[in-house]
Copies of this chain bind each other. A is one copy, B any other.
Amino acid sequence: MTFSIKQMAQKARVASRQLAKLTSSKKNAVLHSIADNLESMTDSILEANKKDLEAGRQADLAESMIDRLTLSKDAIANIADAVRQIAAQDDPVGSIRDIQRQPSGIEVGKMRIPLGVVAMIYESRPNVTIDAAALCFKAGNAVVLRGGKEALHSNLALAECIKAALQAHSVDPNVVVVVPDPDRAIMNELMTLNEEIDLIIPRGGEGLIRFVSENSRIPVIQHYKGVCHLYVDSAADEAKALGLLQNGKTQRTGVCNALETLLVHKDIAPSFLPMAAAMLAEHKVRVHACEQSIDYFEGAEPATEEDWDTEYLALEIAVRVIDSFDHAVEHLEQYSSGHTEVIATQDYSRAQQFIRSINSAVVMANASSRFSDGGELGLGAEIGISTSKLHAYGPMGAESLTTEKFIVLGDGHIRQ
């Protein structure tokens, strides 16, 4: 197949201008059509997915990758539901805030507008194709989707659902571009198109994200890892804290919002750590413990400096006893990955202080780190997570795919 990625991106740029002007009701009608098409075209999507799975098994893909690649009737229904949820949300585009008259007499406010063209570079999960297309479309952005080669048939089948919806509503089909050849050279060229593309969001392993960050001429949303912490304060409710620990560490392990480090205040350690040890043992969680806590855990290994920085993504946790609230804050300032941190405390002031002073993307009091996810935080779906503070911070929904311009209303006003 011969094609030019630059031409595709240019067409997406042109199409983005029409999209930026669509009304909310028109955009939502298109999103509902996509959801309907996903359901009516489920059989052909599953057939395409089967091809990818067979090729994946022949190529000896890791079982975890096969797992991420696999679609089912239920999975497709869930993807369709997410699209309907995105349709149900407020349209971020066009809202105006803070119009104020200035001393000169002009009125100045800010209006939210789309970014323009967003590129997604991702690995095996085919649902990203629909999630990303729906969120970008809602926010008025054209999108260029470059998925992994192992999911190409699935992605192209999903793209058919989008294409049919756009056609039915007479929207330029170039607002959603699925790159038909996942060749690396094409990805490399994509990253140089800073005239055509405003933002790149890589989703996948740390290697992919570093590669894109280091080679892109287009701004990149970065999310390297989530070393999420639970700090059990001296004033914690121990039963609640135990619930947060169990849910955060064991409910799902291969995800960035799972807990990786437990910090326990020394005053509560003697009563809390035996309960924690029993629960973690029951769930077969391997423990890396500091000197002050290691005796509570049967078979624990001594924690090294490296453990405080490690995202295990497994039934494995680092545990450290902490001298004071300030000591906990210091630990977090040194080792936080900027993702999600949780305090368990019944002390009002300490909860306030934690919420105010820890500047990770998501800061929680008495809630499981597993809530750190676009859907649970009320964004409908997420296109990615940013752990760097520029532009967006934390899970990114439709609003994170927009920016604000200034608007000025005068009546012939000139500057003195």
Q: A115-B390, A412-B366 are in contact. Are A377 and B102 (CB under 8 A)?
A: yes
C-alpha gap A164/B106 in the complex (Å): 38
Specify which chain B residues have a CB less than 8 angstroms from the CB of A362 in the assembled complex.
Answer: 405-408
Q: Does A199 contact B (CB under 8 A)?
A: yes
8 Å CB contact of A405 from B243, B376, B388, B394? B394
Specify which chain B residues have a CB less than 8 angstroms from the CB of A100 in the assembled complex.
Answer: 378
Q: A115-B390, A356-B94, A414-B247 are in contact. Are A367 and B409 (CB under 8 A)?
A: yes
Specify which chain B residues have a CB less than 8 angstroms from the CB of A17 in the assembled complex.
Answer: 333
C-alpha gap A378/B376 in the complex (Å): 36
Q: Is the CB of B408 within 8 A of A113?
A: no
| CB of A125, distance to nearest CB on chain B (Å) | 20
Q: Is the CB of A414 within 8 A of B377?
A: no
C-alpha gap A390/B17 in the complex (Å): 18
| CB of A86, distance to nearest CB on chain B (Å) | 16
C-alpha gap A356/B394 in the complex (Å): 29
Q: Is the CB of B111 within 8 A of A355?
A: yes
Q: Is the CB of A403 within 8 A of B415?
A: no
Q: Mark A328-360, 1 if CB is under 8 A from B, else 0.
A: 000001000000000000000001000111011
The interface size of chain A toward B, counting residues with CB under 8 Å, comes to 67
8 Å CB contact of A367 from B351, B361, B408? B408
Q: Is the CB of A243 within 8 A of B366?
A: no
C-alpha gap A354/B389 in the complex (Å): 32
**Chain A stretch 359-416: residues in CB contact (< 8 A) with chain B:** 359-368, 370-372, 376-378, 388-395, 403-415
Q: A247-B414, A389-B403 are in contact. Are A104 and B376 (CB under 8 A)?
A: yes
Q: Is the CB of A390 within 8 A of B393?
A: no
Q: Mark A14-38, 1 if CB is under 8 A from B, else 0.
A: 0001001100000000000000000
Q: Is the CB of A370 within 8 A of B251?
A: no
Q: Does A198 contact B (CB under 8 A)?
A: yes
C-alpha gap A411/B111 in the complex (Å): 37
Q: Does A240 contact B (CB under 8 A)?
A: yes
Q: Does A307 contact B (CB under 8 A)?
A: no
Q: Is the CB of A371 within 8 A of B115?
A: no
C-alpha gap A50/B104 in the complex (Å): 35
Q: Does A83 contact B (CB under 8 A)?
A: no
C-alpha gap A240/B377 in the complex (Å): 49
Q: Does A237 contact B (CB under 8 A)?
A: yes
What residue in chain B is nearest A415 (Cβ atoms)?
B370
Q: Does A56 contact B (CB under 8 A)?
A: no
Q: Is the CB of A414 within 8 A of B378?
A: no
C-alpha gap A243/B413 in the complex (Å): 8
Q: Does A176 contact B (CB under 8 A)?
A: no
Q: Is the CB of A409 within 8 A of B365?
A: yes
Q: Does A244 contact B (CB under 8 A)?
A: yes
Q: Does A41 contact B (CB under 8 A)?
A: no
Q: Is the CB of A411 within 8 A of B198?
A: no
Specify which chain B residues have a CB less than 8 angstroms from the CB of A395 in the assembled complex.
Answer: 406
| CB of A147, distance to nearest CB on chain B (Å) | 23
Specify which chain B residues have a CB less than 8 angstroms from the CB of A372 in the assembled complex.
Answer: 406, 408
Q: Is the CB of B389 within 8 A of A115?
A: yes
Specify which chain B residues have a CB less than 8 angstroms from the CB of A21 in the assembled complex.
Answer: 356-357
C-alpha gap A410/B240 in the complex (Å): 10
Q: Is the CB of A390 within 8 A of B391?
A: yes
Closest 8 CB pairs of A and B: A367-B410, A240-B412, A247-B414, A370-B415, A364-B408, A391-B391, A389-B403, A362-B406
- List 11 interface pairs A-B (beta carbons < 8 Å), by A numbering: A106-B371, A108-B377, A111-B356, A237-B412, A246-B414, A366-B411, A370-B415, A372-B406, A393-B403, A394-B405, A395-B406
With A237-B412, A239-B412 given, name 16 new contacts (CB 8 A): A20-B359, A108-B377, A111-B356, A199-B390, A240-B412, A359-B405, A363-B408, A365-B408, A366-B410, A366-B411, A366-B412, A366-B413, A367-B410, A367-B414, A393-B404, A395-B406
